Structures are given as structure tokens and as C-alpha cells.
Amino acid sequence: MTALAREAGFEDLDHYLFQLMAAPLSREQMKALCGALTIGETYFLRDPKSYRVLERQILPGLIAARRRGGRTLKIWSAGCSTGEEPYSIAIVLSRLLQDLPEWDITLLGTDINEEALERAHRGVYSKWSFRNAPQWLMEYFTPVGEGHFEIVPHIRNMVHFSQLNLAAERGNALTGGTDIIFCRNVMLYFHPEQIEKTVARFHAALKPGGWLFVGPTEVDHQRLRGFSCHHYDGALVLRKGEPRRKTPRPPAPVPVPMAASSVASAPPAAATDRLYHGASALPVGPLPDSIEQAHAAYRAGEYQEAARLALLAPHLPENLALAARCYANLGRYQEAREQCEKALLLERLNAHTHYLLSMILEQMGDGAAAEAALKRALYLDHDYLLAYFALGNLCRKRGELREAEQSFANALRLLQRYDPAEVLPDAEGITAGLLTQLIKGMNAGLNRR
């Protein structure tokens, strides 16, 4: 992360972190963070039992059925990292299909990490990717330089790669009508609700009777819908069947970043009362369209205009908080502090506004006041993830290592409730996975002191 901060033109990590969390992430920032912080631990023929089941139990029947009509197969490796898994599947297919050129095979590898996908496209691997692999596997590689091997062209040409975020994206034309999906060691850190959504997405992508390979401990079998479970000597495979009829569950609320929270949630009763004058009950202030325009301007990075529109309704604490965030993004910290404090005069029990004030105070160099604001935020919301992270960072800078470790531990505990690709509230595009890796990196730095 320190190297990323320097590349972005920041002298220290703290200012870089503030910039990341102060405004929505650009595509370039997200790419850089994914490349630096996501971990792709994989190698060829990892978990041999799954490949043995694929080769001996699943593919023979599927191939026999397709020989009678179509000769098509579609397989999706979800969370493929640097490509070892889909290439392993391609090698298995090439060993089974002596008439491979006569088949129409779609083998798709997807991942959120663009840098990993670029490596997958190249198809060049070090010896580390072949640990525990059988000797015959090397027949499909050509040595290219010291300790590196390139996959042979006819196997590489079988696989297509595409960027895809399992948690954030919905249906994708590339993944529909699939016969087999591999998604192993990807959902280990997803929270149960996100696992359920992801498995439902796989169900929709599979053809009737299609197969889903997952890790044996990744899913709760009792909560599966539309799948039957098949155990083969240590490998778990799910098969798509007819979904059981159940009463649909209401969707869970989606966490909303601070910048949009005032639009997505109803104002408190006190704020609602302030919208009216006496018994006439006539609304004052701008129409809702003006508030929507303020948020639209903020999302577009037009902070001056967003602040102007927000302050057309200075009687609403959420609008004052939005104006404060806009001024902070413009580097006008004194004005940001004033608007934030006005918001707190109207709504003292808003933990998000106390957190925002702490970020502004830290940028103004008042670490003690920033710490006090963070502790007020945590008093109001004991599970305020980013407040624990910010408090840990403050303690780290002051050399209070035990306090920093404790705050970071609380943040990591709360991060377990999110899947790695989920965008965190108040974090302006930072995902749970990125923040987890960032905190682990900071903890490693603490341990080296």
C-alpha cells in the first residue's frame, strides 16, 4: 500500500487512505487496489479429488449424452485467479476427447482481479504453480526461460477469460447455459446471505442437471435451494434440479455509503417535524429533486455544486453532512468542520456524522479531537467498522501499538460479516476484501516495530 501511495503522488500512507475513502473510487484506483491486495492462491490440479470426480464421474456421462446430439460443452471457472483451474479443466477435457476438434467447447474463467487475468491470458507459470502436480502434466507445457513454463497453444486457446465480480454483478450472458461450474475456495469468506445469493446465481446459470463444484465447507447444505448434494470420496458436487417451492424471503437491506444514506433512508422524526411550519403542515426547503441533484453532483465529483445544492436545505442535518463531505474533498477543511458541527447540533446521535467529523479533524492536524469524535461514534454504534479502523490508524501513528492492534482486531472481526467484494458503508467504493488486506498489512508492520 505504501508503494501505491507513492505512485499516486502521496508522501505518506495516511493521506492516501483519506483520499481513497473521501470520494468514489475510479476504475484505475480499483484496479490498482485489487492487484495489490487480493490474494490468488492456486496451482494446477489443486484438490485432485475434484478433478478425479470430474474426469471419471461427471464428464463421461455428459460427453456420451452430447455425442448423440450437439457435441457442445460449457464450463465456467468462477474466481479463476491466474488461470490454473480452467487450464487444468481444459487438460482433463483434452485427455478424454480424442475427437476434440469436432466439439464446440466454451471454457470460461472469470475473476475480479484484472492483473491476475492478464497473467492467465499469458499462460506462463513458475514452478510454484506445479507443486504436487503429476509428472505427466508437464507434457502440456513448454519451458520458456529459467524456471518458467508456457502452456501449449491448443490448451490455451480452449479457455477465454473475463473480469467479473461475483458479489456485485447480476446475470451475465457469458455465464448462462452452463453445464459445469467450478467455484472452490472463493466463498470461504462470504457471509451466509452472500453465499446464498451467489449459489442462486450459479443455479440460474446452469442448465437443468448441471453440476456445481464447491469446497466441502463453503456452503450450508441445509439452506441450498434447487440442488441435490453428491459426495464422491471427499469431493462435494451439487447438481441442479427443480427448485423446491418456498415462501420467498424479503431481501436484506443493502448497506448504503454515507454519501447516499440520506436519500435511501427516512429522516428521523425530529428532522421530519422540521419540514413543516405549525399547523399548516406545508413543506419548506427545496423539493426532493434538488436533494437528488445534490447527490448526483457528488457522485459525478462536482463537489462545489453538490455543496451549493445541499445547503439550499440547511435545516436537514443529512444535507449539512453532505456539504461537509464535499468541502473536505475540496480540501476546505474549516468549512467542512463548520457544516459537520452544524449537522451535529441538529442530530447529535448520528454516528456517521461523528465519524465524518473525525476524518476532517485528523486532516486539520487535531488528532486528539479526531480520537474523541471516533469514540463518540463507537459509543453510538458499537459495530462501526470504519471507526475501529480509523481509531487503529490514529493509534498506529502515535506509536500506541497495543491499542492499534485491538482496534484493528475489532475491525477484522466485523469484516467477517461481509463478502470480500462487498462495498463497505461510508467507504466510497472500498470493498471488504481490500480493507481486510490493508489492515493485515498494517498489522504486519506493527509486528515489525
Task: Please say whether the beta carbons of 317 and 271 come within 8 A.
Answer: yes
Task: Please say whether the beta carbons of 111 and 204 come within 8 A.
Answer: no
139-152: pLDDT as tens digits: 999 999 888 999 99
Amino acid (1-letter code) at residue 93: L
What pLDDT is attached to residue 173? 66
Could you please state the CATH topology (level 3) that the domain comprising 48-240 is classified under. Rossmann fold (3.40.50)
What pLDDT is attached to residue 191? 72
275-304: pLDDT as tens digits: 222 332 333 344 456 678 888 888 777 889
Please list the ranges in the chain whose pLDDT falls under 70.
1-41, 168-173, 189, 216-217, 221-223, 234, 242-290, 426, 428-429, 445-449
Buried-state track 260-295, b at ≥16 Cβ within 10 A, e below 16? ebbeeeeeeeebeebeeeeeeeeeeebeeeebebbb
Considering Cα of 203, then 205, then 209, then 212, what sign does the dihedral take? negative
In this structure, what are the phi and psi dihedrals at residue 141, rounded to the nearest 5 degrees?
-135, 150
Percent of the chain with pLDDT over 70: 75
Task: Please say whether the beta carbons of 80 and 185 come within 8 A.
Answer: no
H/E segment holding residue 333: helix 333-346
Task: Give CA–CA dist 381/306, Å, rounded.
Answer: 28
Class of residue 314 by CB neighbours under 10 A (exposed 0-12, middle 13-18, buried 19+): middle
Task: Give CA–CA dist 259/248, Å, rounded.
Answer: 31
What pLDDT is attached to residue 73? 96
H/E segment holding residue 35: helix 27-37
H/E segment holding residue 111: strand 104-111
Cross-strand pairs, 72: 104
Amino acid (1-letter code) at residue 170: R
Task: Please say whether the beta carbons of 352 and 390 come within 8 A.
Answer: no
What pLDDT is attached to residue 4? 54
Task: Give CA–CA dist 335/29, Å, rounded.
Answer: 27
Q: What helix, strand, coil percent values describe the chain, rounded to 5?
A: 55, 15, 35
CA 115 to chain centre: 16
Task: Give CA–CA dist 408/55, Å, rounded.
Answer: 45
Whether this prediction's pTM lies above 0.75 is answered by no
Considering Cα of 418, then 186, then 163, then 129, what sign does the dihedral take? positive
Task: Give CA–CA dist 272/259, Å, rounded.
Answer: 20
Task: Please say whether the beta carbons of 325 and 356 come within 8 A.
Answer: yes
| Nearest partner of 259 among 430, 118, 385, judged by Cα | 430
